[in-house]
Amino acid sequence: MDTRSLYFTGPREVTVRERPVPDPGPEQVRVKTERSAISPGTELLLYRDEVPADIDIDETIDALDGTLSYPLQYGYAAVGRVSETGTSVDDDWEGRRVFAFHPHESHFLASPSELIPIDQPAKRATLLANAEAAVNFVMDGRPRVGDRVVVFGQGVVGLLTTAILAEFPLGELVAVDPYERRREVSKQLGADAAVPDAAALESAVATEYVDGADVTFEVSGNPDALDDAIDATGYAGQVIVGSWYGNKPATLHLGGEFHRSHVRVRSSQVSRIDPDHTGRWDKERRLSLVRDLLADVDVSALVSHEFPVERANDAYELLDNAPEQTLGVVLTYE
Count CB atoms within 10 A of the CB of residue 83. Answer: 15
**Spatial distance between the Cα atoms of 69 and 9, rounded to a whole number of angstroms:** 9
What domains, with CATH codes, occur in the chain?
3-127+302-332 (3.90.180.10), 130-267 (3.40.50.720)
pTM of the model: 0.93
Query: Is the Cβ–Cβ distance between 252 and 226 less than 8 Å?
Result: yes
**Spatial distance between the Cα atoms of 302 and 309, rounded to a whole number of angstroms:** 19
Query: Is the Cβ–Cβ distance between 263 and 233 less than 8 Å?
Result: yes
Backbone angles phi, psi at 323, to 5 degrees: -60, -25
**Spatial distance between the Cα atoms of 103 and 111, rounded to a whole number of angstroms:** 15
**Chain CA centroid to CA 90, Å:** 32
The pLDDT tens digits along the chain (334 residues) read 799 999 999 999 999 999 999 999 999 999 999 999 999 889 999 999 998 877 776 665 666 667 888 999 999 999 999 999 999 999 999 999 999 999 999 999 999 999 999 999 999 999 999 999 999 999 999 999 999 999 999 999 999 999 999 999 999 999 999 999 999 999 999 999 999 998 888 777 666 566 889 999 999 999 999 999 999 999 999 999 999 988 888 888 888 888 889 999 999 999 889 888 989 999 999 999 999 999 888 888 999 999 999 999 999 999 999 999 999 999 999 8
Q: Is 18 buried (19+), middle (13-18) or exposed (0-12) by CB count in 10 A? A: exposed
DSSP strands (E only) in 88-176: 97-100, 107-110, 115-117, 148-152, 172-176
Backbone angles phi, psi at 246, to 5 degrees: 65, -135
